[in-house]
Amino acid sequence: MDQKLVKTGDEIAELASFASDIWHEAFSELLTIEQIEYMLEKFLSPVAIAASMKDGYEYYYLRDNGKNIGFTAICPKSDNTLFLSKLYLIKEERGKGYLKKTFDFLKGYAKEKGLNSIWLTVNKQNHRAIAGYKKMGMKIIRSEVTDIGSGFVMDDYVFSLVLKHS
């Protein structure tokens, strides 16, 4: 597996479309279609992706043999942590070891940048993702409910993984 950094406007537009397909499949049992559409527009539209990139977020396609199998978005924070904003795989590629390979990439990235932990938020009902993150050694450090507007909230656990760089 390798990663391809998203840079151009065309790549951003392609990623937004790719993300929409994954989100509709992944969240159809957890969220209403209205909330999925709202969150895609707010967080994964071409405009939202471009704006977050200006704020330091990096988006990567996760690839295997030249095929996009998922994507991730990360952002180094001023407290020497790495925020894992997004990590999604297409349905047919889940359960094949790509989560571990992605975490190997994230740990290497964090080490290179001198960051001491990786953290993320995950929907409390997303049991598959929660199990995967726990398998990667992450721990729940708190829960939070975030108002994202238009009557929608994100009801999440916050996970953290403290890194030991050798």
On the 0-12 / 13-18 / 19+ scale of CB atoms within 10 A, 154 is: middle
pLDDT in tens, 105-132: 999 999 999 999 999 999 999 999 999 9
A 10 A CB-CB count for 121 gives: 18
Strands, sheet with 117-123, edge to edge from the N-terminal-most edge strand: 2-5, 58-64, 67-76, 81-89, 117-123, 152-162, 139-149
Q: What is the percent of the chain with per-residue pLDDT over 70, rounded to a whole number?
A: 99
**Which residues lie closer than 8 Å to 151 by C-beta, 6 or more apart?**
none
pLDDT confidence bin for 166, thresholds 50/70/90: low
Q: pTM here?
A: 0.94
CA–centroid distance for 125 within its chain:
16
pLDDT confidence bin for 165, thresholds 50/70/90: low
Mean pLDDT of the chain: 96
Q: What is the percent of the chain with per-residue pLDDT over 90, rounded to a whole number?
A: 96
**Containing structural domain, residue 144:** 2-162
Average pLDDT over residues 79-88: 97
Query: Residue 93's domain is classified under what CATH number?
Result: 3.40.630.30
Task: Give, rounded to a whole angstrom, the gap between the first and last alpha carbons of the chain.
Answer: 24
- Specify the number of domains making up the chain: 1
pLDDT confidence bin for 164, thresholds 50/70/90: confident
